[in-house]
Structure formats: C-alpha cells, structure tokens
C-alpha cells in the first residue's frame, strides 16, 4: 500500500483551498481523512496527548485510514540517548494504542546538531518496544546531521528491523535506504510559486520512487550508502510537510493522482 498525506490537519490557509468554504473546523480531520491516505500527528512532538484524544481521532476517521505519530522530543533531544527509557515509556503509555489498527509508523526525530554515535544509538534502539499491548510497532528515524549518512548507521537500523526517514530537504541529509517493513518519506521542498507545491517533474519523480519502493526495488537516482535492501514489497508513506505549507495539501493530492494513473493495482493506493 502507498499512503500519501500531510503533516497535521489544522492550518488556516488550507481553508478555502483544501477544505471547502464553511466547513466547521472540528470536521477538518474527518474531511482530510477522506481525501488522503494518512496524516502525521506531529503535535505529539512537543506535548502529550491523552488516550481520549487518540480515541477521538480514531473515531473521526475511516477504519482504513492510518496515522503516523511523531514521538516526543523528550526522548530524542538529549545528550545520552541510552538514558531515554523513562521518556519513551511516558510516550508509549500516553494512550497511543487507542488508535488501534490505524496506528502506523512512529517517527523519532533527532535534532540537527545530534551526531551519530553508534554505541549510544544502539542503546536507544534497544529501548524501543517491538510490540505494545499486542500490536507490532513500526519505528522510523528522522535524522538531521550529516554524520548519520553512513553505511554503519544503515546497517545498524536494518539489524533491528526498523526504518530511516528519507528527507527531501536542503537542511537534512538524503538517506534513501530501505530498512524494515516500511518506507517513510517527508517531502519538504514545497514552494509558493507552484500551485501544487512541487513541480510537475518533481511530482512525477516521487510517484516513480514510491511505486518502486512498493515493489521492493531501489529507485534510480538516489544515493546508496549501504548494501541493497531485500527485494520485497513494502508499505510506503509519503508526507508533504513544511516548505510552503499552504501548498502541501495540493501537493499530496497531485501525487495521489499520479500514483493512481501509474498504478496497475488501484487497490494499492490509499486516498480519495
């Protein structure tokens, strides 16, 4: 399955562009979840949501909709990652699994100054639960420092069966290595001059990459750091985030349309 989405769903400039005029604000998530395949819940990065809040989001959206959730920075923005056990536990017990089958990848985002330390990072990986309340978890790592762009980091994450976020951004290294069960891309180059955020050629390129990842192939034109990944089908998540944020919803819809045109299996694309 390929799922395309946006970061968050509450943004005033989307009203009248993505959201119909007059749509009540409390209905915005319900509307977005019926246009797109996923949303990244990123408010959890700075604050703790409750079990009631997660359940409310689950109940407002279709059963086949999937949320990714950004983990709290209290766990990732620290000098010694191996000491994050209490913060990880606090996040995991906040009610996350109220999302049920709609819980997708958990994103652990690290600060731009955080350097790769293999030993400490492995200590962090060992702290992450593989299952929680009977549900298998999918962890992906959003790293921002160039020191992570190395074969040792890729091999370490693969060993634990987890994933690395592929960031399309001038501020982050591009690590397009396939690890674990999912591919997770955060697309952050939307510009206001493009009605669809990304140019036609860029959207075409990302559509081809997503389809290649889904099939288990390695997309052309992307930097390789480690050994080729195991060739098997994977779930793909792509989110338009940041950049000219007013254009990200249009970019997501434009990419979904391209994927539907190119896909021979219409059931493999989630959204609209």
Tell me the pLDDT of the chain (272 aa) as tens digits. Answer: 999 999 999 999 999 999 999 999 999 999 999 999 999 999 999 998 999 999 999 999 999 999 999 999 999 999 999 999 999 999 999 999 999 999 999 999 999 999 999 999 999 999 999 999 989 999 999 999 999 999 999 999 999 999 999 999 999 999 999 998 999 999 999 999 999 999 999 999 999 999 999 998 888 888 788 777 777 889 999 999 988 999 999 999 999 999 999 886 556 888 76
Alpha carbon distance 219, 72 (integer Å): 31
Tokens representing residue 49 in the block:
């949501």
Tokens representing residue 159 in the block:
């060993």
Q: Which residues contact 139 (CB under 8 A, 6 or more apart)?
A: 105, 106, 108, 128, 162, 163, 180
């Amino acid at each position: 399955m390929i799922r395309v989405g946006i970061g968050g769903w509450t943004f005033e400039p989307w009203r009248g562009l993505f959201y119909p005029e007059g749509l009540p604000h409390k209905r915005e998530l319900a509307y977005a979840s019926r246009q797109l395949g996923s949303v990244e819940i990123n408010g959890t990065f700075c604050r703790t949501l409750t079990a009631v809040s997660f359940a409310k989001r689950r109940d407002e959206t279709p059963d086949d909709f999937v949320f990714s959730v950004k983990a709290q920075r209290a766990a990732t923005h620290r000098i010694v990652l191996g000491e994050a056990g209490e913060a990880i536990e606090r996040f995991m017990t906040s009610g996350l699994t109220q999302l049920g089958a709609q819980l997708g990848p958990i994103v652990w985002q690290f600060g731009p100054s955080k350097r790769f330390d293999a030993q400490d990072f492995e200590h962090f990986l060992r702290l992450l639960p593989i299952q929680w309340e009977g549900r298998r978890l999918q962890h992906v790592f959003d790293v921002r420092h160039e020191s992570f762009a190395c074969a040792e980091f890729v091999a370490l994450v693969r060993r634990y069966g987890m994933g690395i976020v592929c960031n399309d951004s001038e501020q982050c290294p591009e690590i397009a290595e396939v690890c674990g069960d999912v591919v997770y891309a955060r697309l952050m180059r939307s510009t206001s001059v493009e009605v669809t955020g990304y140019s036609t050629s860029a959207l075409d390129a990302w559509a081809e990459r997503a389809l290649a990842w889904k099939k288990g192939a390695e997309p052309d034109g992307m930097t390789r750091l480690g050994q080729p990944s195991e060739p098997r089908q994977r779930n793909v998540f792509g989110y338009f985030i940041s950049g000219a944020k007013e254009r990200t919803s249009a970019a997501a819809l434009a990419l979904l349309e391209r994927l539907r045109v190119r896909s021979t299996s219409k059931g493999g694309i989630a959204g609209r």
